[in-house]
Amino acid sequence: MELVQRADRVFHGKCLTRESRGENASVPIVEYTFEVKKAIKGVAEGERVVFRQVDGSEVGEPGIPGVPQYAVGQELVLFLKKESRRGLTSPVGLGQGAFVVKKNGRREAEVVNFVRNRNLLIGLSEADQTAIAPQEFQALKPGQPIPLSHFSSLVARVVRFDRTENRSR
C-alpha cells in the first residue's frame, strides 16, 4: 500500500483537542492532539501525538478545500506524512490517508476514508495483492466500509513487509 510507504506515522487514535493556530497567518493552521489507541508505524501505543496542519474548510468557510478536519472525540486511522520545515503535516493523499472509525449496525468497528475508500490498491503489484488474505481483499471494495480488524491486520503486515524490504536493500 502506497499509503504505508509514504507515511511517517500511522496510528488508530482518538482526537482529544482541536485548536486554531496562526490566526494572523496567510494560511489558517489547526493543531490536533490524538491519543494513540493502536500504534502501527512511527508512534507508541498510548502516546499523545500533536500535529499541525493547514485547516480544511467547509463550503464557504476559510481554509483549504480537500484537507480533512477532525472533531474532538472522533476516532480515526491516520497515515501522516513527515512534518515540513514549517512543522506542518497532513495525511498522505489528504483524504485518502484519513480513515474514520465508526460502528456498523452490528456494533463492529469499520473504517472509511474521506474519498470513500477509492484507489486503495493503487501501487500494489500482483505479488503484493496475492499476499493479501482473501477476506481482506474482498473488504477493499471502493465505496464500502472496511472492517477495522481486516484493515489493521493488512496495514500491519504491509508495515512489516516494508521494513523487511528496506533492510534487505
Residue type, 5: Q
Whether residue 59 is predicted with pLDDT greater than 60 in this model: the reply is no
Q: What pLDDT digit, counting tens, does each position of 62-86 carry?
A: 667 888 999 999 999 999 999 999 8
- The answer to whether the Cα torsion of 151, 169, 167, 133 is positive or negative is positive
Q: Report how far residue 127's alpha carbon sits from residue 48's, in angstroms, rounded to the nearest whole number.
A: 36
Whether residue 166 is predicted with pLDDT greater than 70 in this model: the reply is no
Domain boundaries, the chain: 2-167
Please provide the CATH number assigned to the domain covering 2-167.
2.40.50
Centre a 10 Å sphere on the Cβ of residue 163 and count the other Cβ atoms it contains. Answer: 11
pTM: 0.87
Q: What pLDDT digit, counting tens, does each position of 85-127 carry?
A: 989 999 999 999 999 999 998 999 999 999 988 887 776 667 6
Q: Report how far residue 13's alpha carbon sits from residue 46's, in angstroms, rounded to the nearest whole number.
A: 9
